[in-house]
Amino acid sequence: MNDQSRLFEAGPDPFGRMWKVQFRWLQTGISIRHANTVDVKFFVTPDGGETEEKVVSLPHEELLRIARERQRKLSDAYCMRIAAAHLRHMIETSEDMEKTLVTVTPEELARYDQQLNGVTVPQHR
């Protein structure tokens, strides 16, 4: 998986378009919407299209659990990489692309963590 999570291309989407993705910010959701999350905002632009914002919300308790269980450091860079992995999935499948704010499930968090660390994990729907 590509380590670049600040500025990257994703896709193609189901319509064959590539997307430019730019990281904007990362902050705790409690500071902006009273949620126990880490929110990561990106600007996404499809080939020939208009820029949209996407916020990927990562449940904080689940992040802490995974980091503790797998002896990983919970850092901004780690959260950005998890959020970027989910955004790539959204673009490639067009899943939840109509939403501005998307919350990652605990199962997805675990899967992305494993993918980021070189473990191939099948996706369950």
Alpha helices in 35-75 (DSSP H): 60-69
For the sheet with 52-59, list strands across it: 7-10, 19-28, 37-46, 52-59, 101-103
State mean pLDDT over 100-124. 82
Cα gap 97→45, rounded to integer Å: 12
Q: What is the pLDDT of residues 74-84, one digit of tens each?
A: 999 999 999 99
Reported as a pLDDT band with limits 50, 70 and 90, residue 124 is: very low
Cα gap 49→28, rounded to integer Å: 30
**Cα dihedral sign for 81, 40, 84, 125?**
positive
In three-state secondary structure terms, 56 is strand
Beta bridge partners of 57: 39, 103
Q: What is the pLDDT of residues 21-62, one digit of tens each?
A: 999 999 987 766 778 899 999 999 999 999 999 999 999 999
Beta bridge partners of 15: none
